[in-house]
Copies of this chain bind each other. A is one copy, B any other.
Amino acid sequence: MARAPAPKAPKPLRKAPRQARSEATFAAIVEAAAQILEREGEEEATTARIAERAGVSIGTLYQYFADRDAVLAAVIRRDRETVSAEIARRIAEGDPKTAEALVRSIIGALLAVMRPRRRRRRLILLGAAMRMQSSEDVAATIDRIGALIASVAARYPTEVARPLTPVRTYTLTRAVMGALRAAMMENSRVLDDPAFEEELVRLALAYLRA
């Protein structure tokens, strides 16, 4: 396996899927890769296996993706987009009016989207993501949540003790995400324990008010 030792600049897709058939093929490949990654691990996600499960030939796979990593990158991207959209949807739906309500919304949303993506998949996707320069992307995603918190918190100054400096926002977002990530990685039972959710909320609020 001649994979990127140093993080690779992601190659562009071979061809933009234009026609309906193309789009379906593209999606089938991404889905196949996601399934194998999730169920069998990264080592098993060979280009041959992915193509086979997608029901296309290996040549077709390479007509849509420049190389193996491009396929994995597409899976990661799709996953991230799904999660982001879900979080945004839930927050919009809840329309939180206080810092506490916002924190509850976000943490609830995070737990909700992550619960079904237990250990194996996350673990693998994270590992793959790491190899690909993309921890910056991950950070950016988290920072967007941080900005959200900061902006809303600004509207409820009474609930925030000290000003939300960048370092404080960083600490807060990474602490919450880190606890969630650990629970996923360890496939911990706490993921399904309402008390865990409650404690995460308390943690965030206690810190905001400290």
Contacts and interface: CB of A to CB of B under 8 A. Distances in A.
A126 B136 CA distance: 17
Interface stretch (A17-25, A40-48, A50-58, A89-97): A40-48
A55 B146 CA distance: 49
Find the residue from A42, A170, A200 having the highest chain B CB count within 10 A.
A170
A199 B167 contact: yes
Contacts of A210: 202-203, 205-206
Q: Is the interface of A mostly helix, strand, loop or mixed?
A: helix
A33 to B, nearest CB: 15
A79 interface: no
Contact of A40 (B5, B119, B142, B174): B5
Interface stretch (A108-116, A150-158, A184-192): A184-192
- Copies of this protein chain in the complex: 4
B196 A207 contact: no
A181 interface: yes
Given A130-B123, A178-B178, A171 B199 contact: yes
Contact of A179 (B127, B171, B209): B171
Nearest to A162: B202
A200 B202 CA distance: 16
B185 A167 contact: no
A68 interface: no
Find the residue from A175, A177, A199 having the highest chain B CB count within 10 A.
A175
Contacts of A168: 199
Nearest to A186: B139
Q: Rank and list the top 5 A-B pairs by shortest CB-CB distance, nearest first.
A: A178-B178, A206-B210, A174-B182, A175-B175, A5-B43
Interface of A: 1, 3-6, 40-44, 119, 123, 126-127, 130-131, 135-136, 138-139, 142, 165, 167-168, 170-172, 174-183, 185-186, 188, 190, 193, 195-196, 199-200, 202-203, 205-207, 209-210
Given A5-B40, A123-B135, 7 more contacts: A5-B41, A6-B41, A135-B185, A168-B199, A177-B178, A178-B178, A181-B181
